[in-house]
């Protein structure tokens, strides 16, 4: 196997070796602290390469299996390691996985983050996006009103700006959200996540075409996560319960406060909240369970797992500002007394929040097959079947009407993901080939309720999206150039087909319940790239690259044609295709970065990218709420600058402590930003009104500062993260938006960007302590979210309502007790102080969960 590991700090070198060897490394942070290696370049067996890296360091190693190694600095009997590879897990820390490690935050010439599988289990909370809490500049959009990930990085969100890639595959789908925008959704069960790596800013990765805001990569369970060290066959059982929820009630059950318009002098028929019967503090009301099995041998790795998760509607917190209460607004001038509410949402503190339940069943099958010493391929299947609560944000009403909320029918989602991954790494400097191929098949069936003149009917907004993709890359080491010079090059292809689930296009019982025709069409994108990475010497590194991308969307322009038979609510429709139209575009992305490490503890870097994102299938197919897609809609062009420094200190407060810092300034400047707004629509010659349509803005800009710090002293650790947003600005070209100022900070009227503006400050402090001979870890996480960076007002309630929240501080506590090498208990209290709050980036008026106890038990055998 060909290795090229630069000289420098040993911890960084081991991470590089582990990536090149495909081996997971475990070690105590203190083991490598202050140690350096002279590096290595050449074709060697992995074990021999590792031995050379560790020469003269006083450290030893032990392979627990073909893909896992333990690094230790004391005699084997003291560390729990023996020649057979039996290692006491309680005495080591995970140094990193195949996607990276926590060290990457402080050793990478860029802003990156890492979340281990253990942290995912610890932080997974009530909603799927909770596991990314505490990552600076990273939030999940509208977390409480779906079972989906919609990742926001530094104000960039939606339509592939932030790619979510799971085992090389993407299942992102943009979902219509009524008057309140759209959501880009990705789905995965937390029990299947082995590790997560997040790259912020425009990515140059082979799998990152269009990812101008960043990329989140996830690895699902592998043989590194399940068998005990030294074992070839293993099982993992994980089960847990949580509190603070209740079974979803009957459809149309009412909740929240509700007012209305009442004749002056007559009694007002208002509603003052819904279900306030919150379960007891420690009463289990939801839970999850999973079982995973794995087998490893010299040539084959096999993994199988099934997970089940059930939780009802949760209850909001009872303390803090923003709780709903009814208010009389007085005479409206038409003989009616208006009763509305004050507060952040229609929901009271301690009330059941309707449409927040979930019931998921997931299956994972994965096989990795090694052919000789230099080839391997992986086949996998992941199924995700979910029934979950969701409601159109606009169904929750507004402050002037206080219509409250109701239980909507549960949505269903069936996602199937198939992947094939191939690697070939022969004893050649010129070949390190990787191929990822996938298909994701997503059948999504949201069902809403529509009430007109007191009559309520169901409304179907169902869709099916099938996405196929192939990514090919090769890495070549060019030995003719001094230093370590590598070229990575390849290409990618993706095709998306969007339409109705099979068998429904001519089903009148279905089409008669549609409010609007489905988006139907296909989109293809191809790209080719080349990246050069030159480690000139241990101090200087330069990287540059190019990527060309081209897309084409074909829109079938389906229409709902009324057959004239009847009227609301018994309408009769024919679903017919219109005239097919196409839209295409292309762009050439460029990037360059420079890193300087004058000492072993200091690294300074600068990165600049001029990157293109091709418009998504949702943005380029006509549909309800879009109105029109201009024939000249152009790709986004993001010009992004990042300046940063990584610095390590030793002996800060004591001789045995260590501090690491990462500081970055970022400036994202996006020309031709694609969004929706009110655009001039000509009804007759020289007679214009405002109509919904897609458009290219002249420019959008997001600037800010990011800080990450780690402090360790003995058994105590502290981690601080802070993202400070400085600028949010959107500007349109004259004549492209209707009746609006040309520049504003929070997004245009009816723009999807209204839901993407982050808080001005996002701060998390995590404190941890280890005791009882490393068997017990305890900790707390304190998170602060300020107000939205730029407050935005809208003219009327039929426009997109930007998410709103008061500043809030959350306190979570957690503990992990390792009973023995194979069993552990994880305990957590989310929202310890039981705050009533609305999440940053919420799109629906739904407060977050109140105090929730969680306990999980994991056993391996």
Any idea what the CATH number is for the domain that residue 755 is in? Answer: 2.40.170.20
Percent of the chain with pLDDT over 90: 60
Q: How many CB atoms lie within 10 A of CB 145?
A: 27
**Tell me, what CATH number does 75's domain have?**
3.55.50.30
* Residue 87 sits in the same domain as residue 228: no
The residue ranges of DSSP E strands in 651-696, in sequence order, are 657-671, 674-684, 687-696
How many Cα atoms are found within 13 Å in the side-chain-facing hemisphere of 226? 27
Which pLDDT belongs to residue 36? 81
Which pLDDT belongs to residue 86? 37
Which pLDDT belongs to residue 66? 55
Percent of the chain with pLDDT over 70: 92
The residue ranges of DSSP E strands in 580-671, in sequence order, are 581-599, 602-613, 636-650, 657-671
Mean pLDDT of all residues in 515-530: 93
Report the relative pairing of strands 447-452 and 484-499 from DSSP bridges: unpaired
- Judge whether 172 lies within some domain: no
Residue with tokens 């020309």: 671
Report the relative pairing of strands 173-176 and 182-185 from DSSP bridges: antiparallel
Q: Which two tokens stand for residue 544?
A: 């540059």
- Judge whether 189 lies within some domain: no
Q: How far apart are CA 739 and CA 310, in angstroms?
A: 48
pLDDT tens digits, residue range 172-197? 888 887 777 788 889 988 889 999 99
Q: Would you say residue 100 has pLDDT above 90?
A: no
Which pLDDT belongs to residue 89? 30
Q: How far apart are CA 679 and CA 671, in angstroms?
A: 18
- Judge whether 425 lies within some domain: yes
In total, the chain counts a number of residues equal to 861
pLDDT tens digits, residue range 598-623? 998 999 999 999 999 999 999 999 88
Q: Which of 672, 682, 678, 683 is nearest to 693 (CA)?
A: 678
Q: Would you say residue 581 has pLDDT above 90?
A: yes
Residue 484 pLDDT grade (very low, low, confident, very high; cuts 50, 70, 90): very high
Residue 77 pLDDT grade (very low, low, confident, very high; cuts 50, 70, 90): very low
Residue with tokens 């072993």: 600
- Judge whether 138 lies within some domain: no
Q: Would you say residue 259 has pLDDT above 90?
A: no
Residue 323 pLDDT grade (very low, low, confident, very high; cuts 50, 70, 90): very high
Q: What is the pTM of this model?
A: 0.87
* Residue 268 sits in the same domain as residue 405: yes
Q: Which of 738, 683, 842, 834 is nearest to 146 (CA)?
A: 842
Which pLDDT belongs to residue 648? 94
Which pLDDT belongs to residue 75? 45
Q: How far apart are CA 390 and CA 448, in angstroms?
A: 9
pLDDT tens digits, residue range 186-232? 998 888 999 999 999 999 999 999 999 999 999 999 998 999 888 89
- Judge whether 826 lies within some domain: yes
Q: Would you say residue 257 has pLDDT above 50?
A: yes
- Rounded to 5 degrees, what angle do the CA atoms 517, 521, 527 make? 145
Number of structural domains found in the chain: 2
**How does DSSP classify residue 79?**
H
Q: Which residue has the higher pLDDT, 265 or 835?
A: 835
Q: Would you say residue 84 has pLDDT above 60?
A: no
Which pLDDT belongs to residue 219? 94
590: left (phi over 0), alpha (psi -120 to 50) or beta: beta
C-alpha 330: how far from its chain's center? Answer: 45
Buried b (16+ CB within 10 A) or exposed e, 154-191: bbbbbbbbbbbbbbbbbbbbbbbbbebbbbbbbbbbbb
Q: How far apart are CA 596 and CA 96, in angstroms?
A: 24
Residue 407, domain extent: 220-860
Which pLDDT belongs to residue 728? 95
Of 40-49, 426-435, 476-485, 709-718, the range with the lowest mean pLDDT is 40-49
Mean pLDDT of all residues in 30-47: 74
Which of 96, 112, 127 marks a domain boundary?
96
Which pLDDT belongs to residue 95? 41
- Asked if 67 and 19 count as a contact pair (C-beta separation under 8 A), the reply is no
Task: Say which residues have a Cβ less than 8 Å from residue 665's Cβ, sequence separation at least 6.
Answer: 642, 643, 644, 703, 704, 705, 706
- Asked if 388 and 146 count as a contact pair (C-beta separation under 8 A), the reply is yes
- Judge whether 348 lies within some domain: yes
**How does DSSP classify residue 507?**
-
Q: How far apart are CA 583 and CA 553, in angstroms?
A: 5
Q: Which of 268-272, 314-318, 502-506, 773-777 has the highest mean pLDDT?
A: 314-318
Q: Would you say residue 260 has pLDDT above 50?
A: yes
Which of 81, 96, 111 marks a domain boundary?
96
Which of 37, 69, 96 marks a domain boundary?
96
Q: How many CB atoms lie within 10 A of CB 558?
A: 21
Which pLDDT belongs to residue 838? 94
Residue 568 pLDDT grade (very low, low, confident, very high; cuts 50, 70, 90): low
- Judge whether 712 lies within some domain: yes
Residue 721 pLDDT grade (very low, low, confident, very high; cuts 50, 70, 90): very high
Mean pLDDT over each residue of the chain, to the nearest integer: 88
Q: How far apart are CA 666 and CA 707, in angstroms?
A: 11
Q: What are the Cα distances from residue 77, in Å, to 21, 73, 81, 118?
A: 27, 11, 6, 26
* Residue 92 sits in the same domain as residue 234: no
Q: How far apart are CA 554 and CA 571, in angstroms?
A: 29
Residue 72 pLDDT grade (very low, low, confident, very high; cuts 50, 70, 90): confident
Residue 565 pLDDT grade (very low, low, confident, very high; cuts 50, 70, 90): low
Q: Would you say residue 441 has pLDDT above 70?
A: yes
Q: Would you say residue 790 has pLDDT above 50?
A: yes
Q: How many CB atoms lie within 10 A of CB 409?
A: 19
Mean pLDDT of all residues in 359-375: 94
Residue 233 pLDDT grade (very low, low, confident, very high; cuts 50, 70, 90): very high
Residue 796 pLDDT grade (very low, low, confident, very high; cuts 50, 70, 90): low
- Judge whether 137 lies within some domain: no
Q: Would you say residue 87 has pLDDT above 60?
A: no
Q: Would you say residue 627 has pLDDT above 80?
A: no
Mean pLDDT of all residues in 373-384: 95
**How does DSSP classify residue 32?**
H
């Amino acid at each position: 196997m060909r290795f090229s590991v630069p000289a420098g700090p040993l911890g960084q070198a081991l991470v590089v070796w582990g990536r090149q060897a495909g081996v997971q490394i475990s070690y105590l942070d203190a083991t490598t602290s202050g140690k350096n290696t002279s590096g290595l370049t050449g074709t060697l067996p992995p074990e021999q390469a590792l031995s050379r890296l560790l020469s003269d360091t006083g450290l030893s190693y032990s392979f627990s299996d073909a893909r896992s190694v333990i690094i230790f600095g004391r005699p084997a009997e003291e560390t729990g390691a023996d020649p057979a590879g039996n290692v006491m897990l309680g005495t080591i820390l995970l140094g990193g996985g195949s996607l990276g490690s926590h060290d990457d935050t402080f050793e990478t010439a860029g802003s990156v983050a890492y979340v281990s599988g253990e942290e995912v289990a610890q932080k997974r909370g009530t909603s799927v996006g909770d596991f990314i809490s505490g990552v600076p500049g990273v939030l999940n959009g509208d977390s409480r009103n779906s079972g989906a990930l919609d990742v926001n990085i530094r104000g960039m969100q939606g339509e592939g700006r932030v790619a979510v890639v799971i085992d090389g595959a993407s299942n992102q789908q943009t979902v219509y959200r009524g008057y309140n925008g759209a959501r880009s959704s990705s789905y995965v069960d937390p029990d299947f996540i082995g590790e997560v790596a997040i790259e912020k800013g425009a990515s140059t990765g082979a799998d990152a075409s269009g990812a101008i805001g960043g990329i989140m990569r996830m690895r699902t369970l592998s043989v590194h996560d399940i068998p005990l060290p030294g074992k070839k066959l293993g099982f993992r059982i994980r089960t847990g319960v949580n509190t603070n929820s209740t079974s979803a009630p009957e459809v149309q059950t009412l909740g929240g406060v509700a007012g209305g318009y009442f004749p002056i002098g007559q009694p007002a028929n208002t509603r003052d909240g819904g279900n306030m019967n919150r379960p007891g503090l420690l009463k289990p009301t939801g839970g999850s369970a999973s079982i995973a099995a794995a087998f490893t041998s010299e040539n084959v790795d096999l993994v199988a797992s099934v997970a089940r998760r059930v939780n009802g509607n949760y209850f909001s917190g009872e303390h803090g500002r923003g709780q709903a209460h009814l208010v009389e607004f007085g005479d409206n001038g038409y003989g009616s007394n208006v009763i509305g509410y004050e507060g952040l949402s229609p929901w009271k503190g301690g009330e059941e929040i309707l449409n927040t339940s979930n019931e998921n069943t997931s299956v994972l099958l994965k096989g990795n097959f090694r052919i000789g010493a230099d080839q391997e391929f992986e086949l996998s299947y992941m199924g995700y079947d979910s029934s979950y609560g969701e409601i159109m944000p606009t169904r929750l009403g507004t402050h002037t009407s206080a219509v409250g909320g109701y239980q909507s029918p549960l949505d269903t989602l069936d996602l199937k993901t198939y992947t094939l991954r191939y690697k070939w790494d022969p004893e050649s400097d010129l070949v390190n080939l990787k191929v990822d191929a996938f298909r994701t098949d997503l059948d999504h069936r949201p069902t809403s309720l529509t009430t007109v003149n007191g009559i309520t009917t169901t409304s179907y907004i169902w869709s099916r999206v099938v996405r196929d993709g192939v990514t090919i890359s090769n890495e070549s080491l060019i030995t003719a150039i001094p230093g370590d010079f590598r070229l990575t090059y390849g290409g990618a292809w993706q095709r998306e087909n969007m339409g109705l689930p099979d068998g429904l296009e001519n089903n009148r019982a279905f089409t008669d319940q549609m409010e609007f025709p489905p988006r139907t069409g296909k989109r293809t994108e191809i790209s080719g790239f080349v990246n050069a990475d030159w480690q000139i010497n241990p101090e200087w590194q330069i990287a540059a690259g190019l990527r060309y991308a081209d897309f084409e969307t074909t829109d079938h322009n389906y229409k709902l044609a009324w057959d004239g038979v009847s009227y609301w609510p018994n309408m009769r429709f024919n679903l017919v295709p219109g005239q097919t139209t196409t839209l295409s575009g292309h762009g050439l992305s460029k990037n360059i970065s420079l890193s300087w490490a004058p000492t072993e503890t200091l690294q300074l870097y600068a990165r600049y990218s001029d990157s293109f994102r091709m418009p998504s299938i949702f943005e380029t197919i006509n549909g309800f709420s879009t109105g029109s897609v201009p024939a000249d809609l152009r790709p986004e062009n993001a010009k992004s600058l990042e300046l940063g420094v990584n610095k390590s200190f030793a002996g800060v407060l004591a001789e045995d402590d260590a501090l690491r810092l990462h500081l970055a300034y970022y400036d994202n400047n996006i020309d031709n930003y694609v969004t929706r707004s009110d655009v001039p629509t000509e009804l007759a010659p020289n007679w214009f009104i405002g109509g919904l349509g897609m458009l290219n803005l002249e420019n959008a800009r997001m600037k800010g500062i990011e800080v990450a710090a780690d402090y360790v002293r003995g058994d105590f650790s502290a981690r601080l993260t802070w993202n400070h947003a400085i600028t949010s600005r959107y500007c349109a070209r004259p004549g492209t938006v209707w009746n609006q100022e040309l520049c504003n900070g929070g997004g245009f009227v009816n723009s999807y960007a209204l839901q993407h503006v982050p808080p001005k400050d996002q701060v998390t402090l995590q404190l941890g302590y280890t005791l009882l001979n490393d068997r017990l870890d305890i900790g707390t996480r304190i998170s602060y979210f300020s107000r939205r960076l730029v407050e935005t007002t809208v003219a009327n309630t039929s426009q997109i309502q930007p998410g709103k929240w008061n500043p809030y501080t959350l306190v979570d506590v957690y503990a992990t007790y390792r009973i023995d090498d194979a069993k552990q208990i994880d305990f957590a209290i989310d929202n310890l102080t039981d705050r009533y709050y609305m999440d940053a980036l919420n799109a629906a008026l739904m407060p977050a969960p109140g105090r929730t106890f969680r306990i999980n038990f994991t056993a391996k055998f």
